[in-house]
Structure 1
Amino acid sequence: MNPKVETLETENIKPVVSVLVDNSISTKFFNEEEQVTSILKEIKKNSNIQEKFNVELFSFGNTTKVLDSLSFSETQTNISQAIDAVAELNKDRINTTILISDGNQTKGNDYEYLTTKNKVYPIVIGDTTQYQDIQISQLNINNYSYIKNKFPVEALLYYQGKSTVNANFSITKDGRKVFSKTLQFSPSNPTQTVTISLVSNEKGLQYYRASISKISNEKNTKNNSKSFSVEVIDEQTKVLLLSSFLHPDLGAIKKSIESNKQRKVDITLINDKDINFSDYQFYVFYQPNSYFKKVFEKINSNYLLVSGTKTDWSFLNSQQLGGIQKQAINQPEEYSAIYNSSFLTFLQEDLGFNQFPPLRDKFGEIQLKKEGQTLLFQKYAGVETQQPLFTSIESNNQKFAVLFGEGIWKWRAASYSKEQSFESFDKFLGNVTQYLASNKKRKRLEVKAERLYPANAPITVSAFYVDKNYQFDNRASLQLKITNTATKEQKTLPFSLVNNSYQVSVEGLSSGDYSYQVSVANQNIKSYGKFKITDYQIEEQFTNANVKKLNSLALKTNGELFYKNNITELLKKLSDDTSFYTVQKSIIKKQNLIDWKWILFLAVGLLALEWFIRKYYGKI
């Protein structure tokens, strides 16, 4: 018999007020650092707020973080992500949000149209005066062009003011003007779109600068210019995508590969007899069957093979392609991806492959009769295996890669859903294409860096180094030497080992042109490149706070807009608002009246004590 005792415990759960502080450069640009600090102090010292709410402080810029200290150095502002983050954090509690910001967002979804159940109370910081201003709001350009060809540049220009003004829009290269046009703006015609076609005369990376002239009484001229770059190439990689039927995967593969303008993809059905295979440097064979027999007899180049539920594995096994065999049965199976961080063929980061939808292929065991590298392993029926989902093989100066499954179009869609961009997934297929399309001997040192960086943006350079056997070498010592081409000032930094690559972050570089050299200690192996840091700072492109959007956000969430000089009114409103109340939560705990574990412990202790006493007095 062991009766149970019930105890009732109560817990008071206060409502939460989440204070979001804009930690971006724009706060410093408007000289509001002290004002923001003062607002925070006033919130912290208000006894009514502290008594009624649990106050949680956060800073936001590129991302949202628990407030530790304020630097006002974030290079982007994502207001929508910050509001969503605190709403999700306290979704099971009564909560509200105080937003301290100038309302100028540079990244993320438009916060004006957010759907949230929480009341949002914006506190406006920054200059609310409307100034006359003209700016380049956006530049649309192609990143690549071909030698002696024309490439388009589209400039979107915006004017804010009450009078009619004239301004000159121009584009320069190396200080030489290559385009100029005078435009007229007025309150009734505040926007202009200028489309230009420029000729690419020089091969390689070319930098340009677009500018709009200053108008009278203009306060902010930092948004009057933007730099852009174009890589001019003199040849193009042509890819043949061959299939016996139409499938959504074909379009996804074509779009991903052609996201790099150096590549062109032709989709052709196998029954087309007018295929000139010599026109292509790389091939994608989609779900081959016996109709591909003559094609495989002609091809002696690198290729990517994609299998699926309509693949004829009996035919492929007879062809001995790359030493790949699959004992397939006519039963479809879904395979999820497991990323292999030890993959060494080329540098490929994890895109969250394990979160992508599964691919479909015929069920069966895969055998690799030649040595290869597997980037993705198969997972099916919840079981992780060592069977390849994506693998690469090199044999007799020929390269192959195989994706065992159809439905890659879903991966591209999932990547976009996750990041609101196809860029990461397109880079993945771009890396595959670059590896397979090149017949050059593999380099032991590969370096990746952007070619154009905005001012104050983080500069990260990554490197991939292998030994003489082309195995990743984590013992190497790599150095980055950066040289300012104008001042000849140099900066040398060591790389750090991060998973299966080397990385270095560079800070404190002023705007200008730079060349860099990556070298391996005690090895005569070096890689060279260049990049440009522009003086364009997106957080300094605004002339005033965006009161209109902040007020719209407040009204939509049943909150209210406040200015920095009436914080006391905001705090009183929150204190008096009866919709924010403390919830009392009762918890009934059941506990055994007799705790057998303690009784057993006590009994063992007493018996041990008795034995020790008897032993001491010689009774045993």
Structure 2
Amino acid sequence: METSTIIFIVLAFVISIAIAYFQYYFKAKRVGNITLLLFALRSMVIFLLLLLLINPSIDKKSFINQKPALSVLVDNSRSTQFFKQDSLVNQLINSIKNNDRLQKKFDVSFYSFGEQFAFNDSLSFDEDQTNISEALVNIEDLNKGKNDAVILMSDGNQTLGNDYEYVNTKKTVFPVAIGDTLKYDDIRISQLNVNRYSFINNQFPVEAIVLYEGNQSVRANFTIEHRGKVIYRKQVRLTADKNTETIRTNIKSEREGVNFYKARVSFIEGEKNRNNNSKSFSVEVIDKQSQILILSSMYHPDLGTLKKSIERDQQRKATIELIDSKDFKIDDFQLVILYQPNFQFKDAFKQIKDKKINFFLISGSKTDWQLINSEAIGIRKNSIDQSEDYGANFNAGYLIFSQKDIDFNNFPPLKDKFGETLINIPHQTLLYQSINGFSSKEPMLATADENNHKKVFLLGEGIWRWRSSSFLNTNSFESFDEFIGNIIQYASSKKVRDRLAVDIESIYNANSLIKVGAFYVNNNFEFDDRATLIFTAVNKETNESKSYPFSLANNSYQLEIEGLESGEYDYTVRVEGQNINRKGTFRVSEYSVEEQFTNADHQKLARLADKTNGKMYYGDQGQTLINDLIENNQYVTVQRSIQRKESIIDWKWIMFLIVGLLAVEWFTRKYHGKI
């Protein structure tokens, strides 16, 4: 017990005697034996109450034995089954579970990984991707600071995530190479690059990389097929020294809509894995290119950023013009971007309003808000001649088009004139302003549709910094360009908004989960969560039809389909009880990313083991691994002491005693007429 606690107890005792003495002896006219009893009772009650407040405690030390952790990470992807190693993996797991010496030495936990990481020892080997790096990172976080070992059962072929060989982990990893470690001659299409869109009667480029693994000199035919016909053919010759060839060609777009193609390389003699010899791809052919005008009175980095992001999609072309130029006609464009308009934009505003041309207004430190306020375009700002930096807060409830949060909150702030903004037409806000981290309900990015006249308002200059920040975070401009693309797609369309929108891919890989999203609004264009949406897929070859209901999730309708056979499908999404539907086409290809490898990557697994001071084992060396772990003196049970404070009084009994003493005191005083 601490010295301070003892002092408090002594003081409590003295105080309790002093108070009781004051009550029963100080200025008392008559003192007898009963007074002494009452004095003792009152002193004890006060002392016990003060003791409850002090709550004296003592330090108590206990010891526990902590075994080292053994985390078993098991590859639950389809490649394990493809290599016919699923039974071997289950045998290894059972050997670990049933070894008493191993269980006695380690605290063993089992985890599975594929696309997702899970605490699980029940395996299905049906996941479509392999993310080894995520599994290693998660184990590092779960067992941070612990002396433990990791068994990694995998073929070493990763299809998703960062390179696991360079994961920063302090755990010792013991990989078990699952799958055939012998190398077989194999030729495959390792990569296929193609644009998503093309224009009617134009040519779109196709780039394919053919890879050969082997020691011979081989010849193979590379072909591209469309609608059952070969439209391109080339012979390739590969050797052990020259084992790759990049094939580039251009294909003419002749049919509007989604067109499906298949790239194929012929088999070679003795090839074991033929599933990786072909890949399907699709191109959406459109018959008109959207023309976007970027109108400004000055040059600014934002202009180039907008042009690059817009033209990332080949169905759009952006033209930058200065307002004092006469080389353009506003009505030649589907959308006009008004960048920091000033008094020179007066005629441009008149044409936009007269001809109901969709526009995207971007303000900044050089914007003339007096002009904008006078034009009555739906937005006003009571600004002062002072600039402010505004951060962005994403509005997850935005419903006009689908936009994910690309980490807007952490983007650099945009600069705009300070003042209160009022949008006086029906609108929705995608981004709100924040100042110094404090969010507000002031709009930063809002969209409006006034009688099919689309208007977008972005309050702030400096989005070139957003594109740079997005690249630093993701090592790609894709997410930012997609964000700008969504705005442009909405704003440049003169089409009346559909009540039903469907989000579906053109091609899905074999055995993969087919995810379909839908968004449905009522007559007031408000999200309707009472509807019943049905998805129907019809196989074009067999005419077999399957229907699936959508589920409601996060202000949208979602559907996940498993088990569709490869082939081309016509789909229909309909709203029950309404004459509203959407139709289209998608394809389930024969391509499965988990079946593209011919053998386990034991060399990479061995490098991971060396880096973490572990050792690699093969699938038939499971017992050797177990014995090595049991005999490894690096992993021992550690005795840890736990010191905690423990109260030396039981407050329930103390309270019971206080009540009892008070009762005795009261009855004594009552009996002797002291009350």
The alignment's TM-score, normalised by the length of structure 1, stands at 0.92
Cα distance in 2, alignment partners of residues 460 and 254 from structure 1: 32
Give the structure 2 partner of residue 305 of structure 1.
Answer: 361
1:120-135 to structure 2, matched below 5 A, reads 120-135=173-188
Give the structure 2 partner of residue 538 of structure 1.
Answer: 593
- Aligned CA RMSD, in angstroms, stands at 2.7
SS of the residue corresponding to residue 309 of structure 2 reads helix
Cα distance in 2, alignment partners of residues 87 and 246 from structure 1: 49
Distance 1:338 1:132, change over 3 A: closer
Cα distance in 1, alignment partners of residues 86 and 664 from structure 2: 69
SS of the residue corresponding to residue 428 of structure 1 reads helix
* Deviation of 1:584 (Å): 4.4
SS of the residue corresponding to residue 223 of structure 1 reads coil
SS of the residue corresponding to residue 249 of structure 2 reads strand
Give the structure 1 partner of residue 530 of structure 2.
Answer: 475
Moved more, 307-316 or 224-233: 307-316
Find out whether 1:201 has 2:257 as its counterpart. no
Give the structure 2 partner of residue 521 of structure 1.
Answer: 576
* Deviation of 1:132 (Å): 1.1
Q: Please, which of 629, 633, 640 is the counterpart of residue 574 of structure 1?
A: 629
1:110-509 to structure 2, matched below 5 A, reads 110-300=163-353, 301-328=357-384, 330-341=386-397, 343-416=398-471, 421-509=476-564
* Deviation of 1:474 (Å): 0.9
Deviations, residues 344-403 of structure 1 (Å, cap 9, x unaligned): 322334444445444443332222222211222233344332222221122243221112
Note the residue ranges of structure 2 that are not aligned, 5 or more in a row.
1-7, 9-53, 667-675
SS of the residue corresponding to residue 228 of structure 1 reads strand
Retained in 2: the 8 A contact 1:239–1:266? yes
Give the structure 1 partner of residue 49 of structure 2.
Answer: none
Deviations, residues 132-177 of structure 1 (Å, cap 9, x unaligned): 1111111111111111111111110011122211111111111111
Retained in 2: the 8 A contact 1:338–1:379? no
Retained in 2: the 8 A contact 1:95–1:580? yes
* Deviation of 1:204 (Å): 1.5
Distance 1:487 1:557, change over 3 A: same
Deviations, residues 536-559 of structure 1 (Å, cap 9, x unaligned): 111111111111211122122222
SS of the residue corresponding to residue 222 of structure 1 reads coil
* Deviation of 1:414 (Å): 4.8
SS of the residue corresponding to residue 378 of structure 1 reads strand
Note the residue ranges of structure 1 that are not aligned, 5 or more in a row.
612-620
SS of the residue corresponding to residue 515 of structure 1 reads strand
Cα distance in 1, alignment partners of residues 101 and 475 from structure 2: 42
Cα distance in 2, alignment partners of residues 77 and 339 from structure 1: 33
* Deviation of 1:600 (Å): 4.7
Distance 1:417 1:587, change over 3 A: farther
Cα distance in 2, alignment partners of residues 541 and 27 from structure 1: 12
Deviations, residues 534-586 of structure 1 (Å, cap 9, x unaligned): 00111111111111211122122222111111122222333333443444444
Give the structure 1 partner of residue 91 of structure 2.
Answer: 38
Moved more, 393-402 or 159-168: 393-402
* Structure of greater Rg: 2
* Deviation of 1:609 (Å): 12
**Higher share in helix:** 2
Q: Please, which of 89, 108, 118 is the counterpart of residue 161 of structure 2?
A: 108
Deviations, residues 495-532 of structure 1 (Å, cap 9, x unaligned): 11112111111111100010111111111111111101
Cα distance in 1, alignment partners of residues 513 and 663 from structure 2: 66
Report the AA paired with residue 183 of structure 1. V
Report the AA paired with residue 260 of structure 1. D
Cα distance in 1, alignment partners of residues 444 and 638 from structure 2: 52
Deviations, residues 405-461 of structure 1 (Å, cap 9, x unaligned): 334344445545555554444333222212111112111111110011111111111
Cα distance in 1, alignment partners of residues 469 and 653 from structure 2: 55
Retained in 2: the 8 A contact 1:477–1:495? yes
The alignment's TM-score, normalised by the length of structure 2, stands at 0.85
Distance 1:288 1:561, change over 3 A: same
Retained in 1: the 8 A contact 2:416–2:459? yes
Retained in 1: the 8 A contact 2:179–2:619? no
Retained in 1: the 8 A contact 2:364–2:460? yes
